[in-house]
Amino acid sequence: MTEKSGPARLTLSRALNEGLRRALERDPKVLIMGEDVGKLGGVFRVTDGLQKDFGDTRVVDTPLAESGIVGTAIGLALRGYRPVCEIQFDGFVFPATNQIVNQLAKMRARSGGHLKLPVVIRIPCGGGIGAVEHHSESPEAYFAHTAGLRVVACGNSPDAYTMIQQAIASDDPVIFFEPKRRYWERAEVDTGADLSSALPMDRARTVMAGDDVTVLCYGPMVRTCVEAAIAARDGAGEARSIEVVDLRSLSPLDTGAIAASVRRTGRCVVVHEAPVFAGLGAEIAARVTEECFYHLEAPVLRVGGFSTPYPPSRLEEHYLPDLDRVLDAVDRTFAF
């Protein structure tokens, strides 16, 4: 059952559901495929009710074979369809890496632009839900490194609603990361708004304005960084005015928005759940240094996971970046 058009407080998972519903209604060539996306409605119930309303030829329960899901989607895209693949958990995407990296990402360039590959691959990402091994990964750097893919990450319900529709409308393949521990958080979503007025999915958004330091983040870390910014302003220690920028697009990066913020604040901290070593933060830090060198008051610092396999659930709170680690990095930028 669809939500009534207009403002409503939706969980992130429900906002995705509504966005998928709008895309299915708008274009008969859009279809959803994945493990348990039909009758069950997906592990996180993101596709709940869609097979019932649109039928099992448009919301397709597939075998447990990620390579087969993505390979079939590539064939469908070449025949004019717009498939949306769901990968149940982030760690399950790796069996499909050959199809994504060697076929999906390259075919449009290989054909000189004659072929369109409008495939969206939805990946619930990150930790924080107490899951077992292979269910809490942050594989965005693999795909951001792969030329030919658009890589985006939503961080809240309004972006989830608009960005999933923009991704489906794109003629380029899109890797769409969804922060699984934020699925149940609610925010106001205007489901009646004209999609053409929404911020393009390849643009960053300033979530909180500030003057002292820029914190760049995405996906599950957006809320954490906002909480850190609020604590820095209201805390008992020296107040810091932190500007929080949600990158939203990881490839391509909105370098214009990033540089504009850092040139104004003079300091920068990059935050993500993935390990710091060779993570996306390294590329962002390098770009900021190149473009903002004469505006920087301190080195660009990075906050992320440790260079270890993701730990058992009982230890994940020690692994995941939290408010204190973000604020520690902010404080260190003032120590230089």
59 inside domain: yes
2 inside domain: no
- Asked whether residue 156 falls in the same domain as residue 248, the answer is no
Amino acid identity for residue 49 in this structure: G
115, 108 Cβ separation under 8 angstroms: yes
Domain end call among 179, 197, 215: 197
- Cα distance between residue 178 and residue 16, in whole Å: 9
pLDDT in tens, 119-166: 999 999 999 999 999 999 999 999 999 999 999 999 999 999 999 999
Return the CATH number at 307: 3.40.50.920
Domain end call among 166, 197, 228: 197
- Asked whether residue 185 falls in the same domain as residue 210, the answer is no
1 inside domain: no
Burial of 315 per CB tally in 10 Å (0-12, 13-18, 19+):
exposed
Return the CATH number at 131: 3.40.50.970
- Asked whether residue 25 falls in the same domain as residue 168, the answer is yes
- Quick one: average pLDDT of 52-61? 98
pLDDT at residue 7 in the model: 86
The per-residue pLDDT of the chain, averaged, comes to 96
- Asked whether residue 128 falls in the same domain as residue 217, the answer is no
Place of tokens 């911020």: 199
- Asked whether residue 158 falls in the same domain as residue 278, the answer is no
pLDDT in tens, 60-93: 999 999 999 999 999 999 999 999 999 999 999 9
Residue 4 has pLDDT above 70, yes or no: no
5 inside domain: no
Residue 238 has pLDDT above 90, yes or no: no
- Asked whether residue 269 falls in the same domain as residue 191, the answer is no
20 inside domain: yes
Residue 234 has pLDDT above 90, yes or no: no
pLDDT at residue 193 in the model: 85
216 inside domain: yes
Residue 237 has pLDDT above 70, yes or no: no
pLDDT in tens, 251-281: 999 999 999 999 999 999 999 999 999 999 9
- % of the chain with per-residue pLDDT over 90: 94
Query: How many structural domains are present in the chain?
Result: 2
Of the pLDDT bands very low, low, confident and very high (cuts 50, 70, 90), residue 3 is: low
- Cα distance between residue 295 and residue 262, in whole Å: 8
- Asked whether residue 149 falls in the same domain as residue 174, the answer is yes
Give buried/exposed letters for 154-193 (b at 16+ CB in 10 A, else e): bbbbbbbbbbbbbbbbbebbbbbbbbbbbbeeebebebee
- Asked whether residue 301 falls in the same domain as residue 234, the answer is yes
Residue 236 has pLDDT above 70, yes or no: no
* Host domain of residue 321: 205-333
Residue 316 has which token pair? 């994940």
Domain end call among 174, 197, 220: 197
- Asked whether residue 143 falls in the same domain as residue 172, the answer is yes
Of the pLDDT bands very low, low, confident and very high (cuts 50, 70, 90), residue 186 is: very high
Q: Which of the residues are catalytic?
A: 135
Residue 107 has pLDDT above 70, yes or no: yes
- Asked whether residue 63 falls in the same domain as residue 148, the answer is yes
3 inside domain: no
45 inside domain: yes
- Quick one: average pLDDT of 36-48? 97
Measured in whole angstroms, the distance separating CA 94 from the mean position of its chain's CA atoms is 17
- Asked whether residue 192 falls in the same domain as residue 95, the answer is yes
- Asked whether residue 193 falls in the same domain as residue 232, the answer is no
Residue 239 has pLDDT above 90, yes or no: no
pLDDT at residue 183 in the model: 98
